Amino acid sequence: MPWRALLYRRPTEPRTIEIVFDRSVYLVQLRRHRQARRYTLRIQATTRDVVLTIPPRGTLKEAGEFARQHGGWIAARLGRLPEAAPFADGAVVPLRGEPHRIVHRHCRRGTVWTEVGPGGGCLLCVAGDAPHIDRRVGDFLRREAKRDLEAASRQFAQSLGVGIKRVAVRDQSSRWGSCSTSGVLSFSWRLILAPRHVLTYLAAHEAAHLIEMNHSPRFWRLVERICPDHERAKAWLDAHGSDLHRYGWPTRTAT
């Protein structure tokens, strides 16, 4: 084994530690990184995870002390995140920008469907047993996202005279969409929660990357040509995009 690898080897380390601040317990994930120069803490807003990066020569004792010293920062940052909105009976979730209340229909057949309620409000109805509501709603939203994004992306690609190899839908935390050099477009399923013009813009954005794999003026001219409404969609994402990541996550309470 190379001597450098021996230098950085460590016995099996715990992946998480717990710290206590103001009578609340917080779970901190540990990540050792060879290029890290110091201990750093970050909050992953999409998953609400607290991550502590440890430098190569750092110790678990020092890492724990560092996390405890920053307990107030962790509590404050988590407290500023939008409240988690799990998919549960009675919860309200946006579908194509329109609020839908989840209604559990235990005695009905099927999986998930939409209908209009007695007062005119939109409902997202879920059949089956209560423990399956979260999974069934999540699967439904992913299917709807895949259908809308595939249709829009292929329409834009056709207008540009290019082809798409495949359209994939994932739960991407760092970007709303991406385009590979092989012609695969990937999107966040959470775009189905946004208004229609936002999803349409992202489909146009990634389709344009099939021609221009950059964000040059020529790229933006392509986007402007096929999606003139792109500035409004970008403004909506800047203002409300982070809020989409709170849906589907269970409410976490520190004890």
Total number of domains constituting the chain:
2
Domain check: are 132 and 190 in the same one? Answer: yes
Of 48, 80, 112, the one marking the end of a domain is 80
Tokens for 222, please give them: 């392509």
Q: Using CA atoms, how far apart are residues 190 and 173, in angstroms rounded to an integer? A: 10
Domain check: are 110 and 234 in the same one? Answer: yes
Tokens for 25, please give them: 């317990």
Given phi > 0 = left and psi -120 to 50 = alpha, else beta, which region is 169? beta
Of 80, 105, 132, the one marking the end of a domain is 80
Q: Give φ, ψ of 136 to 5 degrees.
A: -65, -40
Residue 252 lies in a domain: no
Per residue in 60-103, pLDDT (tens digit) is 999 999 999 999 999 998 888 877 889 999 999 999 999 999 99
Residue 162 lies in a domain: yes
Cα dihedral across residues 81, 252, 25, 54: positive or negative: negative
Q: What pLDDT is recorded for position 246?
A: 87
CB 175 within 8 A of CB 202: no
Q: What pLDDT is recorded for position 48?
A: 80
More confident residue, 23 or 4: 23
Q: What pLDDT is recorded for position 18?
A: 93
Least confidently predicted of 63-67, 75-79, 125-129, 204-208: 75-79
Q: What pLDDT is recorded for position 10?
A: 57
Domain check: are 127 and 56 in the same one? Answer: no
Domain check: are 137 and 170 in the same one? Answer: yes
Q: What pLDDT is recorded for position 79?
A: 84
Of 45, 80, 115, the one marking the end of a domain is 80
Average pLDDT over residues 180-191: 95
Domain check: are 13 and 122 in the same one? Answer: no
Domain check: are 165 and 207 in the same one? Answer: yes
Per residue in 23-36, pLDDT (tens digit) is 889 999 999 999 99
Whether pLDDT at 188 is above 50:
yes
Q: Using CA atoms, how far apart are residues 73 and 120, in angstroms rounded to an integer? A: 44
Domain check: are 12 and 129 in the same one? Answer: no
Whether pLDDT at 252 is above 50:
no
When the pLDDT of each residue in the chain is averaged and rounded to a whole number, the result is 90
Average pLDDT over residues 157-161: 96
Domain span at residue 96?
Answer: 92-246
Domain check: are 107 and 220 in the same one? Answer: yes
Domain check: are 64 and 133 in the same one? Answer: no
Domain check: are 70 and 194 in the same one? Answer: no
Q: What pLDDT is recorded for position 76?
A: 92
